[in-house]
Amino acid sequence: MTIRDEAIEKLTARINEIELEDEYDLTHFMELSSRLKALGESKYFGMLPEICQREQFRGKLDKILIDRARRGLFDLGERQPEEYVFYPIVEAQDFRCFREFTKDSGLYGGRAAAYLDMWITDTDLTDLNDEAAELLDSWRETYPLPEEMFLPVIVSPRTSGDFCVAFHHSRD
């Protein structure tokens, strides 16, 4: 079994556990189905338009996505360099895939798209500690997405020391 196949198997097991009862469940489903699609398994992602039309989500998708992006921005902004930032970055990575796959779909409006884009862009400015950088390296190996789908912060994680060196060299 390949690394990609193992990743698909793990994600499929996780996505099948989601109840889809509330907004949290929907955004979690979006994250996992988007990562699965990036790995080549589009079954679950293809279910999203129908799921978004369920009574509890109908007409609310823009608000749900804006709230999710705001929460993601908050999670990234509130964490200090020494704190654990791995999960908020991975969640932004999943929504980067979601955005790529849905940008021309008409599934949600421009304001929701702008919030998602802001969250995704701001993620690349995240100051990492060494542990988070190592976890992102490991995550990238565990989930072999196409290279163009990865956020830059995952392709080459930067720690606060890296930012200091870059700043120092920019002043020379």
**Structural domain harbouring 64:** 3-170
| Number of domains the chain contains | 1
Write out the DSSP string of 46-114: GGHHHHHTSTTTTT-HHHHHHHHHHHHHHHHHH--TTS--HHHHHHHHHHHHHHHHHTTT-SS-HHHHH
d(Cα 154, Cα 140) in Å, to the nearest integer? 7
Backbone angles phi, psi at 70, to 5 degrees: -60, -45
**pLDDT tens digits for the chain (172 residues)?**
999 999 999 999 999 999 999 999 999 999 999 999 999 999 999 999 999 999 999 999 999 999 999 999 998 877 655 556 888 899 999 999 999 999 988 889 999 999 999 999 999 888 787 888 888 999 999 999 999 999 999 988 776 555 455 444 555 5
Return the pLDDT at 168. Answer: 46
